[in-house]
Amino acid sequence: MTLVKVQGLVKRFGPAAAVNGLTFDIKEGRCVALLGPNGAGKTTTLKMLAGLLEPTEGEVRFASGPETAASGFSRPSGDIRRLIGFLPQYPAFYNWMSGREYLIYSGRLAGMSKLEAKRRTEEMLATVGLAEAGNRRIGGYSGGMKQRLGIAQALIHRPKLLLLDEPVSALDPIGRREVLDMIRLIRKETTVLFSTHVLHDAEEMCDDILIVNKGRIAAAGTIAEVRRQYSEPVIRVQAEAPLDESVERWRRFACVNEIESGRYEARLSVTDLEQARASLWRDLGEHGVPVNRFEAGRTTLEELFIKAVNAQ
Ligand SMILES: Nc1ncnc2c1ncn2[C@@H]1O[C@H](COP(=O)(O)OP(=O)(O)OP(=O)(O)O)[C@@H](O)[C@H]1O
Ligand SMILES: [Mg+2]
């Protein structure tokens, strides 16, 4: 079931568009990565989803109970905050508070009774592995502990959608691992959308992936779909002698779209893998090129991401 529908979302700051027409759905129970380089528009998108920024155009609609709009989706004008938990990219804490005090305070802010906030705080401290450290001042927490406290804060009111803005980017490897493991637990119960600029995190953690660049979607779908849909046939050749002359010949092959080459290696995007493999293999043989490596396959997700990032 679809939890959120995002339609034609645009955010302009002056003449520049930080987000430039995003349309996508988030399905309930999924873990979705919003993947993009610096400045892609991830934070702006998440803030609009969280209701903290007003879109210039387009809208974000949440599936609500059958009692509301006929479509079953409500506009953001209603109070969507109870549905959303948000961990900002640069969370600020009151360092003089203890983790426990902070969570009780967050629960009270979310409208919980004192008793409920206290009970939920104990639950959350245990979930994020801070039960022992609950009475220590936040100022003395490590980066990983602060992020976990931030996640607990975002979950205190049992939101339907958890938005995490680069939850692991600022952490050392140990902190990263702690927080990624945490997200892996949480995603079993809550729909999660998290932003990252690290492809590996997206592949490791998520069902679905949204690759954004310059405010637009470059690729979207399940990881497998994106791999299948967007990957292209490619041949890589590496030789012991310079490949310049060969590359010149290959440029004229009908089955070759594009060649990136160094002196001793070349990467060819081709239209048909079988045909290109046969033609190139024959050509290499005819010209006695001393080949070290010949590899026919498809572009990896990594290459797709880099291409999306470099594309205008
Ligand atoms: N309040 C603002 N005023 C003007 N420009 C802004 C504002 N917020 C963001 N931008 C611009 O919008 C673009 C997208 O920014 P955004 O912070 O959403 O990107 P991001 O993908 O989160 O990047 P990062 O990976 O660095 O966090 C950038 O070019 C940024 O400079
Ligand atoms: Mg950001």
The number of domains in the chain is 2
**Which residues lie near ion ligand 2 (Cβ < 5 Å)?**
42-43, 89
Mutate to test the pocket of ligand 1, among 9, 12, 13 (most ligand atoms within 8 A of CB): 13
- Which of these, 199, 203, 162, lies nearest to 37 by C-alpha position? 199
Question: Both 173 and 91 in a single domain?
Answer: yes
Are residues 281 and 259 both part of a single domain?
Answer: yes
Write the residue with the smallest CA distance to atom 6 of ligand 1: 13
pLDDT of residue 65: 52
Q: What is the CATH number of the domain that holds 186?
A: 3.40.50.300
Strand (E) or helix (H) holding 193? strand 191-196
CA–CA separation, 176 vs 201, rounded Å? 10
Q: What is the pLDDT of residue 66?
A: 46
Q: Is the dihedral of CA 14, 17, 19, 22 positive or negative?
A: positive
Specify whether 211 is located in the same domain as 241: no
Contact of 181 with 204, CB cutoff 8 Å: no
Which segments of the chain have a pLDDT < 70?
64-78, 311-312
Given 204, 229, 254, which residue is the final one in a domain?
229
Residues 272 and 305 in one domain: yes
The verdict on 245 and 96 lying in the same domain is no
Q: How many CA atoms lie within 13 A of 184 on its CB side?
A: 11
> Which of 179, 205, 229 is the last residue before a domain boundary?
229
Q: Which domain holds residue 91?
A: 2-229
Q: Does 235 lie in the same domain as 210?
A: no
Sheet containing strand 16-27, edge to edge, reads 16-27, 2-13, 57-63, 73-74
Distance, CA of 168 to CA of 170 (rounded, Å): 6
> Are 86 and 41 part of one and the same domain?
yes
Residues 17 and 154 in one domain: yes
Percentage helix, strand, coil for the chain under 3-state DSSP, each rounded to 5? 35, 30, 35
Q: Which of these, 62, 31, 36, lies nearest to 222 by C-alpha position?
A: 31
Question: Of the bound ligands, which one is closest to the alpha carbon of residue 45?
Answer: 1
- CA-to-CA distance for 85 and 88, rounded, in angstroms? 10
Looking at the fold, whether 225 and 256 belong to one and the same domain comes out as no
